[in-house]
Structure formats: C-alpha cells, structure tokens
Structure 1
C-alpha cells in the first residue's frame, strides 16, 4: 500500500503546487479502493489537502506568510469537470478576475457547464462557493478555453465599459500564437463582442 501512496504522491508532485485532483485522475493506474485509501492517508499526513467533497489539492505555499494559500478555485473546477466529464467555462466575475480586468476576488465563482447545476463550498477557513450553472452548449462549446474567457469577460463588462485600456489588457493576456485560432473559434458570437475580439487580435502596428 505504501508503494501506491508513493506513486500517487509522485504524480501529484509532478503536477506542481496548486494542482487539484480527484481519485478519477488516478483511476487508470490503480484500483479505486487503493486510491481512496492512499488519498485519505496523504491528506491525514498533511502532504495533500482536502478542499471540498472528493477533491484534494497540493497546496500552494507562501514563504512570506509562512502558510499554505487558499485553494486555486479554477483548479478545483477543472478537477470536478474531469471527474464528471463536464465541459465548463468561467463566467462573469470569475472570467474578469482571471483576465486581470478585476482585482476583486469573488466569494462566489460561477462556471457555465453542460452538466447539472451544482454548488460546492471550497476551503475550510471562510470557504468560497464554486457554482456550476447549466448553460446552452453554445456557451461552453468553444474549442479554446481562451475564447470562452474572452467572451464571458466581455459579456460581464458590457459594451459601454470596454475601452482602449481593456483592449490593451486583453491583448497582453492573449498569446499572439492564438490570435487566428480564437478569431475562428468566436466567429459566431454576438456582433459587438466579436468586434472587440478582432481588436484584441490585431497586431500593434498593422
């Protein structure tokens, strides 16, 4: 049993601090009962942390604060999406936060999903709420994650609040290599949003 724990721990460490996971992430290599026991043992020893029902993480650590940081909500959402085979997309304030358009950390992180609507409290000290909201496939069906983040952030901002500073922030965030792919991926979104995405993907000096 100890050998299985070490193999699982090696995989976790290999993904780096902040990674969140469920037993589903190890099911291909180990028996379900063994995985459950190994994760429970590792959590009790403090090498991993249970962050919500069925989800663990390898905590990020702050040398400055001398303690573990709060769970990475996006990692937790992705872990649940893998477990249930959902397609998900950060919505509203979550998308704005990830793209650097908002410095407010939402207490409630909403993700669109092609699965059922569910909510999970994440973390022990002042837990945040991770909410999945069932949405039409067109809202979660982008090929590239970056496409969905752009669309949801712009929707949350609204046309009137998009200015040159916002466009510049998004341009710095989106890698140049993805410009063509994102433009192609978002060609069916509503008019003004597509126009902003076109501006974001324009090369400076073109």
Structure 2
C-alpha cells in the first residue's frame, strides 16, 4: 500500500463510526488526481466505501466481517457536518408510532438540504428536500408526530392526533401547538381542533 493510501486510512481512523468524508478534505495530502486514485484503490480493496460522488465512509469491521455503517449513523453525521436539518420520513415515523402497519421498503430521510442518494453497501438511502415547517419542532417526539400526521394527510390527521394525544406529555403537546404558525393551514386547523381545543 502506498503512503498516500495509508495516510488516508489513518485519517479515517480518527473519525466517528459512520462519519462520511469527501475527497476535497484530503487535498492537503496530495494532488486531486493522486487523492482520487488512492481513494479508488481503497474502495476496490474494500477498505473504504463510496457512498455518493466524492463522498466516502469507512466500513464497520466486526467479527463477522465488514459491513456498511447504519443509515441512521451516516445521516446523523451528515447533519452534523453540513448543518442541515435531517429527520426520518413521515412514513417511517407513522409506522414507529403505530399509526400504520405499512413498513417502508426504502430508507428515506427528509432534509433541509438538496435531494440526493447515498449508497451504503447494498442499501440506498434517499435524502429528500422538505419544507422548513417539517423541521419546526426538530427530532423531538412532537416533531415526529407532525411529520407522521403530515404524511397521513388531511383525511387521517384528526384521528391520528387524537390517538397520539393520550401518549404525549403536556410539554410535547405544547410544542405541537406552538408550531401552528408555520404549519400548512389544514394541519394547523387539525392541531387547533384536537390538541388545543380538544
């Protein structure tokens, strides 16, 4: 293994599990062509994984061999690095909260950034741009409720909010009510009727 590839691997050892890095971060080690070539060799050897154009991650090594880091870890690290708001898609949250029995086939996250796909081994993780109001309450339980109810749509929103109202704490209900000013009109109306006045 040449010294550049070895230096790149040493650089990745200090990163948290699932933390992506890009080729541009390594340009202090050599020319762009040399860095790209070293990264390409490391991917072919299975020592790095290419998750998207110019972005890489170190595979997780266990006693069963190498595997891709979990999608949640990679997405969390991307949010930390880029400053984007990233949260699980409403369909996944609705399933988690027991509002639907549908299990999402694909791993989809909402982001305040641009649309893109990440390849983690055989799994494709999709990051979809979403409006700002989807992140109004963040990744708290109250934010998950809003994303799940938004995914269910106007017809099922009231019933879903009534079912979840019993499970949420007073502070979580208050956070949902406080977000009404940024929600779409149909969702703000349902929150007012069920959470505030119900």
Fold in common (TM above 0.5)? yes
Counterpart Cα distance in 2 of 1:197 and 1:51: 41
Q: 1:130 aligns with which of 120, 126, 131?
A: 126
Superposition TM-score, scaled by structure 2 size: 0.57
Counterpart Cα distance in 1 of 2:29 and 2:81: 16
Counterpart residue number, 2:87? 89
Classify 1:79/1:35 alpha carbon distance in 2 versus 1 (closer, same or farther; 3 Å).
farther
Aligned 8 A contact 2:135 2:143 in 1: yes
Q: Secondary structure at the match of 1:187?
A: helix
Per-residue deviation, 1:93: 1.7
Corresponding residue pairs, total: 178
Matches of residues 140-159 of structure 1 in structure 2 within 5 Å? 140-142=135-137, 144-146=138-140, 147-157=142-152, 158-159=157-158
Give CA deviations for 1:86-114 in whole Å, capped at 9, x if unaligned.
333332223345x4647865233443333
Superposition TM-score, scaled by structure 1 size: 0.56
Are 1:139 and 2:134 counterparts? yes
CA RMSD after TM alignment = 4.5
Counterpart Cα distance in 2 of 1:45 and 1:20: 19
Counterpart residue number, 1:106? 104
- Rg larger for: 2
